Amino acid sequence: MSATAVLSTKDKFIACLEASGRVASHPAAKEASAALNTLEFPTSKTERWKYTRTNKIVKTDFTVQKSTQAIDLEPYEIEGLDADTLVFVNGYYRNDLSSFKPNDNVIVAPLSEALSSQASIVQQYMGRMANHNTEIFTAINTAYAVDGGFIYVKDNTIVERPIHLINLTDGNNVLAQPRHLIVAGKSSKVDFVATYGSIGNGANLHNVVTEVWVGENAHVHLDKLQYESEDAYHIATDQVYQESNSTFTINTITVNGALVRNNLNIVVDATNCTSNLYGLYMPTDKQHVDNHTFVDHKKPHCESNELYKGIINDAATGVFNGKVFVRQDAQKTNAFQSNANILMTDDATINSKPELEIYADDVKCSHGSTTGQFDEEAVFYLRARGIGEDSARKLLTYAFVVDVLDNIENEAIRRKVDQLLEQRFNWVL
Amino acid sequence: MISIQNLHAEINGKAILKGIDLEVKAGEVHAIMGPNGSGKSTLASVLAGREDYDITKGSVTYLEKDLLEMSTEDRAREGIFLAFQYPVEIPGVSNVNFLKTAINEIREHKGMEALSAKDFLAMVREKSKLVELDAKLANRAVNHGFSGGEKKRNEIFQMAMLTPSLSILDETDSGLDIDALRVVANGVNKLKSENNAFIVVTHYQRLLDYIVPDFVHVLYNGKIVKSGTKELALELEEKGYDWIKAEQGESITA
């Protein structure tokens, strides 16, 4: 294909966004727009996208459209979770569906509002973490996102109620671009849930960017639940910056979606930090789930723990590319990374690439990747005790993923995840 | 209880069982002995329903049903229990959860209601004492990180929980020290009754000092070549298996 044809794909893609209006007033948007003049969509030669082709996505004629219809939120709510909730449909904020209690120590607002009401904070943090200069999908989001969640936790604040960001798409070939900004002040503690869902079966694209600033001695926990439609596309970038003595934990649970790409980048730029990255993906049919993680250890005495597990069914594909970078200054780093997969069929594929790049000489790092088939001996063992073959397989599947799920600390969220797995895979737990 | 007639089984085209005849009645303990490679474990596996084996000839009738037509899980639900030679480690599945699932599937099969959590836990407490299994092990993942002795005790614990009619112990004594052996054997002896039966597969006689068999059968080259009472086991202990092999060699050439 000629270079002009590729260019026209990008121009066409962007043209639908130009018409829609945007969060224009922050400086990052201008930078991102400028960057888009030269950035191109990844090709098969782009190393970071080697195993995930975006052709189908970027050639789709998406529209950006507001949805105003009444929506039953129940499938996306979490029973028993007393949370502040912000709802975005097609990337637009839905005031009628959101509910949160005003609090002196936590500012919760749609980004569109925060741009004026919290202008200085937005200026200070937005676009300062996510890289819109080199990543085209991040640039598109930065330049054209219409709304998102803005959460600012003041210093020394323990946020009792979790904050739930519900992101939905409604329609067909809709492009939704939520843009979330989370800033956790000094010695604060806050828990988030981010839910991604589809109303109906449209082949919609969520191109979402979440920036998280974890202040000194702050604790931020984020559970990400992705259960969009079978035909949904999802490209996510979670960009995290950690200050000293902070802890950041993320659980990424991918239950459904035709093509899901999660970019998780954590910059650990201070001492005594802990970063926990856990993930579970279970693609079926011809679905494709790609988790790209990057932990950048810049300073000494930090720890990162990473565990991603995949169960790949049918003719589905999983991709895990986890990179841990330990810079020369980052002495006494403890970095552990592990990826384990079960291929349920002969047609299932996994591309697993754990990477460690170490420039410090006094560190403790390990990484590993395993891929196997179902343990038939264990199936026989369970059956020999009277457990039916179907239940035996479900029990063993659940057993394989349980050490990832156990990192979801909130019981209501854990129950929700169990329910999602039960609905999707007929598990009886 | 079980009647095995002229049973032939092979794996990957290689014949392992070459005509087994065995009759076990309720209340009986049968020991199957024999040198390595004689087919002892294959017999145990075939009875439990391991699908790697092809049954080429013969029949097995269990409680008046055709056993070979039944799935592995249905055999277990109908009261067949195999104590594994190598119990499988299953990280992530707790022993109690696993047993609760098993018991309730068995009960469902029999048209019984599920056991209440309270009754189940009371049962766990009672039965774990039987094999001196630390209550903590009951809450751990199935066999995960258990010592060899703990794994075998866990097999007998499961047996106690599932109350089978016919228990097949496949080399349960292998890898056990003398204390663990005594604990395991005591467990079996306490579970023994007029209504159930045991097939004890073993290479050595020492287990039979503790679990006293009513009958001893010697399996060699896929066939039962000698049957007797517990004295036969003592004779084997004393003389080894070579005389059996020699006798068989003679009978073939004769």
Dump pLDDT digits (tens) for B16-36.
Answer: 999 999 999 999 999 999 888
**Predicted confidence band at B252 (pLDDT cuts at 50, 70, 90)?**
low
Query: Which of 345-384 (A) contact B at CB < 8 A?
Result: 375, 377-378, 380-384
Grouping H, G, I as helix, E, B as strand and the rest as coil, residue B228 is strand
- Whether B105 sits inside 8 A of A386 (CB atoms) is yes
Residues B46, B50, B53: CA angle, nearest 5 degrees? 70
**ipTM, 2 dp:** 0.94
**Predicted confidence band at B128 (pLDDT cuts at 50, 70, 90)?**
confident
Whole-angstrom Cα distance, residue A39 to residue A43?
12
Residues 6+ apart with CB under 8 A from A89: A66, A67, A71, A97, A168, A169, A170, A176, A199
Nearest CA-CA partner of A298 in A220, A241, A215, A222:
A241
Interface probe with A: pick from B78, B93, B109, B166, most Cβ of A within 10 Å: B93
A387 CB neighbours in chain B (<8 A) are 73, 98, 101-102, 105
State phi, psi for A90 to the nearest 5 degrees: 55, 25
Interface probe with A: pick from B67, B70, B90, B99, most Cβ of A within 10 Å: B90
Whether the CB of A402 is below 8 Å from some CB of chain B: the reply is yes
Which of A102-116, A258-272, A413-427 has the largest mean confidence?
Answer: A258-272
pTM of the model: 0.85
* Largest CA-CA distance found in chain B, in angstroms, rounded: 65
Write the pLDDT tens digit of every residue in A96-141: 999 998 889 999 999 999 999 999 999 999 999 999 999 999 999 9
Closest Cα of chain B to A37: distance in Å?
Answer: 51
Closest Cα of chain A to B84: distance in Å?
Answer: 8
**Cross-chain CB nearest to A384 (options B72, B101, B105):** B72
- Mean local confidence (pLDDT), A254-261: 97
Please determine, for residue B205, whether its predicted confidence score (pLDDT) is greater than 70. yes
Please determine, for residue A19, whether its predicted confidence score (pLDDT) is greater than 90. no
For residues A293 and B138, which has the higher predicted lDDT (pLDDT)?
A293
Which of A281-290, A420-429, B145-154 has the largest mean confidence?
Answer: A281-290
Strand ranges across the sheet with A189-199: A92-93, A84-89, A163-170, A189-199, A219-227, A247-256, A274-281, A303-312, A334-343, A364-372
CB B232, CB B226: distance < 8 Å: yes
Based on C-alpha coordinates, what's the Rg of chain A?
21
Write the pLDDT tens digit of every residue in A177-215: 999 999 999 999 999 999 999 998 889 999 999 999 999
Nearest CA-CA partner of A393 in A313, A302, A303:
A313
Torsion of CA B180, B184, B190, B195, to 10 degrees: -170
CB A196, CB A87: distance < 8 Å: no
Interface probe with B: pick from A387, A398, A401, A403, most Cβ of B within 10 Å: A387
**Cross-chain CB nearest to A389 (options B73, B82, B98):** B73
- Mean local confidence (pLDDT), B155-178: 92
Please determine, for residue A23, whether its predicted confidence score (pLDDT) is greater than 80. no
Amino acid identity for residue A215 in this structure: G
- Mean local confidence (pLDDT), A312-335: 96
CB A26, CB A112: distance < 8 Å: no
Nearest CA-CA partner of A143 in A28, A9, A8:
A28
B50 CB neighbours in chain A (<8 A) are 380
Closest Cα of chain A to B148: distance in Å?
Answer: 17
CB A177, CB A145: distance < 8 Å: yes
- Whether A399 sits inside 8 A of B90 (CB atoms) is yes
**Token output for A2:** 């000629």
- Whether A399 sits inside 8 A of B109 (CB atoms) is no
Closest Cα of chain B to A401: distance in Å?
Answer: 8
A309 CB neighbours in chain B (<8 A) are none
- Mean local confidence (pLDDT), A275-288: 97
3-state helix, strand, coil in chain A (%, to 5): 25, 40, 40
Per-residue model confidence (pLDDT) at position A257? 96
A390 CB neighbours in chain B (<8 A) are none
Closest Cα of chain B to A381: distance in Å?
Answer: 7
Per-residue model confidence (pLDDT) at position B29? 95
Whole-angstrom Cα distance, residue B47 to residue A20?
70
Closest Cα of chain A to B7: distance in Å?
Answer: 21
Whether the CB of A427 is below 8 Å from some CB of chain B: the reply is no
